[in-house]
Structure 1
Amino acid sequence: MHMNVAPHLLTEDRAEFERVLDEALRTAHDRPELAELGDRFTTVQLREMALNATALITTAAAVEYDHYVKVREQLRSASVTGGGGTGEALGEAGGAGVVAIVTVLAPILAGTAAVLLLLVGAVLKMLDPPPAFADTLLTAGLMFGAVAAAGLLCAAVGLLVTALRNSATQVPAGTPDDELSRARRAWGRALTDRGILPFLRDALAAPAPAPLPKQTPPSGRIPKVGYSGPDFTSPADGPPPARPTFTSPDFTSPDFGPPEHRTE
């Protein structure tokens, strides 16, 4: 479904407009003046009517919408202007990430090496006679244990410093993001109170369309058309037609003809 967008309503805000419209339709029955909407129109019909009247509805909240768009554009401009600082911050974060990885891996590797060296040195010391490098393994194990302990201490200090740094750079309340949320909510309230709800009240107050006149069906199965067929009668119904009369020619014998035609 494509709705008619008001000239000042941006395409990216159509979804928010539809969300506010759906919420208003969902809670319309909670309002006494709109309790009879379901008796005359369905929710789908009301939604279609409101989408077709988007220009009228959004004009009622034009002031709040303009403020919302202005705050959003200011926030976007500020983020674009601070792009260089963001890149530097990402670089610093990448370097800090490498240091954090090394700080975490060093105690693990050192501790593993210390456990292995101490275990092997202790086993060799149990032999009779013990090898000469058993004491060397034990000494190396103790050294790796000290390195692991130092790494754990550095990791704990790094976590503490990171926590303090994040707490210092937290975004306090009243930032542009919070102002943008307030502007969006104000626009939604204005749409509902001054645009959508008055539109629904007008739809409820509009007179119902007059019903179409009831047509009486014809009495017969086949409707009678406006002309009649020609009358055909059989020959027996009328007087017999006059028969033509024929007269034979007069033939006379040669004796009764004129004298010039008599034979000798």
Structure 2
Amino acid sequence: MHMNSAPHLLAEDRPEYERILDDALRHAHERPDLAAVGERLNAVQLRTMALDATALITATAAAEYEHYVKAREELRGPAEGTGQDSDRSGTDGPNQSGAGIGAVVTVLAPVLAGTAALIFLLSGYLLRLLNPPPSFASTMVAAGWFFAAVMAAAILAAAVGLLITALRNGSTAQPVEDAENELPEDVARAREAWRHALLERGILPFLRDALADPDAGPASRTPQPSANRIPKIGYSRPDFTSPDDGPAAGPRPTFTSPDFTSPDFGGPEHELD
């Protein structure tokens, strides 16, 4: 049974925990207490063990994490509410309908214009082959070239629209990313405090204990580090002791055979009165 998710660690903070763990393993050679990485246990084995013990490790920084989550929720609370309202009002109103109609026209206009141009041009030039050609043959050819021009203009407009949309999305993506990185000072301090506590009180001691465990060998796939920090999941054989080993064992009872004596058979002088 693996503890792959900590009960108190939110799903959005799971990648941050893994990033801190990976960073600690990546720079393990810079710490003398983690110099044994790769001898008995490699980085992959240590990472697997640390992920299995996520609940145990993150519990060491529970107070800092609780403070960080509260500060983050206070920041997100009103902003998310107003953002959702504005999104709903912006997407459910006429703007969404206008955008949808525009997209349909942009896609269908070149197709319809091209189809009409092909039909008129083909019909007009076939009618010109007749002798004498009908009077409306030249009109159909002119209509065909007109729809061909409409098709070219529609394709050009669609290309310009795609270019403008790409530029708009590119210009709005960077400010959103910057807004996520530029957190308020109190939230940034709370997050940094949680990261520091998680690293110093949770991840690094866990890795040190795993490397110091003499039972963890290089051939072990699922090593069992020391029991004070890393839980051992499994079943152990019960200890059966003989009754003689108990602390309250008393002395054994002894049995002696009764003394049997043969009756005295004598003469008449020995008869009982």
Fold equivalence (TM over 0.5): yes
Per mean C-alpha deviation after superposition, the further-off stretch among 10-19 and 136-145 is 10-19
Match of 1:101 among 98, 101, 104: 104
Q: Would you say the 8 A contact 1:50–1:199 is kept in 2?
A: no
After TM superposition, give the deviation of residue 55 of structure 1 in Å: 4.4
Equivalent of 1:111 in 105, 109, 114: 114
Partner of 1:144: 147
- For residue 201 of structure 2, the aligned residue among 195, 203, 207 is 195
1:162 maps to which of 138, 162, 165: 165
Q: Which amino acid aligns with 1:130?
A: P
State whether residues 61 and 194 of structure 2, in contact with CA within 8 Å, keep that contact through their aligned partners in structure 1: no
Mapping 1:70-85, distance limit 5 Å: 70-85=71-86
| RMSD of equivalent CA atoms | 5.0
Q: Which amino acid aligns with 2:196?
A: A
2:180 equivalent to 1:177? yes
State how far apart, in whole Å, the 2-side matches of 1:100 and 1:27 are: 49
Q: After TM superposition, give the deviation of residue 157 of structure 1 in Å.
A: 4.0
Distance 1:10 1:46, change over 3 A: closer
Show CA shifts across 1:155-202 (max 9, x none).
344345434544554442774311359948735640344322564499
Which residue identity is paired with 2:33? E
Q: TM-score, normalised by structure 2?
A: 0.56
Contact 1:20 1:192 in 2 (8 A): no
* Shift in alpha-carbon separation, 1:142–1:99, aligned structure 2, 3 A: same
Quick one: structure 1 residues 3 and 88, their matched pair in 2 at CA, closer, same or farther if it must change by over 3 Å? closer
Superimposed CA distance per residue, residues 116-165 of structure 1 (whole angstroms, 9 cap, x where no aligned partner)? 21112112211223234322321321222232233234334434543454
How big is the shift at 1:102? Answer: 0.1
- Alpha-carbon shift at residue 111 of structure 1 (Å): 1.4
Of 241, 253, 260, 2:262 maps to 241
- Identity, % of aligned pairs? 31
CA distance in 1, matches of 2:206, 2:125: 87
Distance 1:230 1:39, change over 3 A: farther
The CA deviation at 1:22 is 4.9
Distance 1:242 1:98, change over 3 A: same
AA paired with 1:84? Answer: D
1:135 to 130, 133, 138: 138
Instruction: Give me the whole-angstrom Cα distance separating, in 2, the residues matched to 1:50 and 1:121.
Output: 76
Q: Which residue of 2 aligns with 1:33?
A: 33
Write the letter of the residue equivalent to 1:122: Y
Cα distance in structure 2, aligned partners of 1:49 and 1:168 = 42
Unaligned runs of 5+ residues in structure 1 are: 210-217, 219-224, 248-264
When Rg is computed on C-alpha atoms for both structures, the one with the higher figure is 1
Q: Is the 8 A contact 2:127 2:137 kept in 1?
A: yes
Paired position in structure 1 for 2:87: 86
Structure 1 99/70 Cα, relative in aligned 2: closer, same or farther at 3 Å?
same
CA–CA distance in structure 2, aligned partners of residues 47 and 151 of structure 1: 55
Cα distance change, pair 29–176 in 1 and its aligned pair in 2 (3 A): closer
Q: Partners of 1:12 and 1:150 in 2: how far apart?
A: 50
Task: Report how many residues are paired.
Answer: 222
Counterpart Cα distance in 1 of 2:165 and 2:52: 54
2:57, 2:202 within 8 Å by CA — same for their partners in 1?
no
Query: Which of 85-94 and 44-53 deviates more?
Result: 44-53
Match of 1:260 in 2: none
The one-letter code matched in structure 2 to 1:32 is: P
Q: Distance in 2 between matches of 1:28 and 1:89?
A: 48
> Structure 1 residues 2 and 107, CA, compared in 2 at 3 Å: closer, same or farther?
closer
